């Protein structure tokens, strides 16, 4: 693992994440993958260690950790279980809009509980017919007397069954398209709000992913998050902040798979010697390690760019998510191959890493969408350069 240009604070969160991963996540990972149960014990430990919401500003009881600290922490968690790392990352995702544009009253009400781990969050953007096409939302918001009334269905809501507060995006002016979208904070016990079916997932099986149903769900005007019509912008800003976290999850999964492959290939004997002595194995291991190192540096570079409010932060965030998740799939596929027949059996943990890796290419913007974002940014930069 590269320690290039890490501060003492960065290394503190690396060490804390590694400790939590080894002592708490590792013993739980296989069983929770089998049962699909939520990792309550993990969050009890995080609460005890004051690590449940490290990204929350200190004035609200959090650690005030930087985005770089957060991605380092997530990577260490994902090294032992991509699912538990995803749950932690989504708590950050769900609270980023509140941190970005919340009113003082909203922050005072929710952020201290998020920091303590008492309140889980979720991000309600996608719908059955609006995944990559996030601007095509059909969930509506209308003003009725002194309430805002929400109607619609949200899909693929990570943390959907466990969250206590949801950032819901709805269109108050459908005729305006994406410019009519506004963000709202909806509490779980609000009348008209209902958690629907849980999805049965291929990987990250401990993560509760649910449909959400809003049926004449009435909320106070004070639950509007940000300005009217700014919802799509808020969603995109949030996803730009969160994509390095998905990249970190992917890097952690890849590193965990490489760790297992390094151990197995040195222990596995074929033709009178460990298979690690075979050049074909060594070449594969070399490629895996190089890809992971490059992905890690790109993820951390993207996190730094966002903290520094670089004009290129969206570009780097998309590059990091794209490259890291493709790396995770490549590395875990190769790791399964290195295990041979055992890699295809649940007796060994490596197949879980492959299943967990796949989702990183899909959620928070598919890699096809990331390639579109990257290409547009590069063409725009080239055009601007030609005009100079």
In contact, 61 and 55? CB cutoff 8 Å: no
Q: What is the DSSP-derived secondary structure letter of residue 238?
A: H
CA distance 335 to 277: 16
Query: Is 230 part of the annotated catalytic residue set?
Result: no
- Report the candidate in 180, 163, 159, 146 with the shortest Cα–Cα distance to residue 87: 159
In contact, 130 and 275? CB cutoff 8 Å: no
**Range list of H helices, 205-345:** 231-267, 279-307, 313-339
Please report how the helices 313-339 and 350-358 are oriented relative to each other, as an axis angle in degrees rounded to 10: 150
State phi, psi for 9 to the nearest 5 degrees: -65, -45
Site of tokens 């002595």: 277
CA distance 76 to 288: 18
Q: Three-state SS for 181?
A: strand
| Largest CA-CA distance found in the chain, in angstroms, rounded | 80
Helix (H) or strand (E) holding 153: strand 147-158
Strand 165-171 with 121-124, pairing: parallel
Q: Three-state SS for 174?
A: helix
In contact, 123 and 89? CB cutoff 8 Å: no
Please pick, among 44, 228, 364, 368, the residue that the annotation labels catalytic.
364
Catalytic residues: 364
């Amino acid at each position: 693992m590269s320690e290039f240009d890490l501060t003492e604070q960065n290394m503190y969160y690396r060490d804390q994440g590694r400790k939590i991963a080894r002592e708490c996540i590792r013993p739980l990972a296989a069983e929770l993958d089998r049962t699909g149960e939520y990792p309550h014990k993990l969050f009890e430990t995080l609460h005890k260690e004051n690590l449940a919401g490290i990204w929350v500003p200190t004035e609200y009881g959090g650690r005030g950790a930087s985005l770089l600290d957060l991605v380092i922490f997530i990577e260490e968690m994902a090294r032992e279980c991509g699912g538990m790392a995803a749950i932690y990352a989504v708590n950050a995702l769900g609270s980023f809009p509140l941190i970005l544009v919340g009113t003082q009253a909203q922050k005072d009400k929710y952020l201290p509980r998020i920091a303590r781990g008492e309140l889980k969050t979720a991000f309600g953007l996608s719908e059955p017919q609006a995944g990559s096409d996030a601007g095509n939302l059909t969930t509506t918001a209308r003003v009725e007397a002194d309430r805002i009334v929400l109607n619609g269905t949200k899909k693929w809501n990570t943390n959907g069954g466990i969250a206590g507060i949801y950032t819901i995006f709805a269109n108050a002016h459908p005729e305006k398209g994406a410019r009519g979208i506004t963000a709202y904070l909806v509490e779980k016990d609000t009348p008209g709000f209902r958690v629907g079916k849980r999805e049965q997932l291929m990987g990250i099986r401990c993560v509760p992913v649910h449909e959400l149903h809003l049926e004449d769900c009435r909320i106070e005007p004070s639950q509007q998050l940000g300005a009217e019509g700014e919802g799509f912008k808020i969603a995109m800003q949030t996803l730009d902040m969160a994509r390095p976290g998905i990249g970190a999850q992917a890097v952690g999964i890849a590193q965990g798979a490489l760790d297992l492959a390094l151990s197995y290939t040195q222990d596995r004997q074929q033709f009178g010697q460990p298979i690690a002595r075979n050049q074909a194995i060594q070449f594969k291991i070399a490629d895996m390690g190089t890809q992971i190192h490059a992905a890690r540096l790109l993820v951390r570079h993207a996190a730094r760019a966002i903290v520094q409010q670089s004009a290129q932060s969206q570009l780097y965030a998309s590059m990091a998510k794209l490259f890291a998740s493709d790396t995770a799939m490549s590395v875990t596929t190769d790791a399964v191959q290195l295990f041979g027949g055992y890699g295809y059996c649940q007796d060994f943990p490596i197949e879980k890493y492959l299943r967990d890796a796949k989702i990183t290419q899909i959620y928070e913007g598919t890699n096809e969408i990331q390639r579109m974002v990257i290409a547009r940014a590069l063409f725009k930069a080239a055009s601007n350069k030609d005009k100079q």
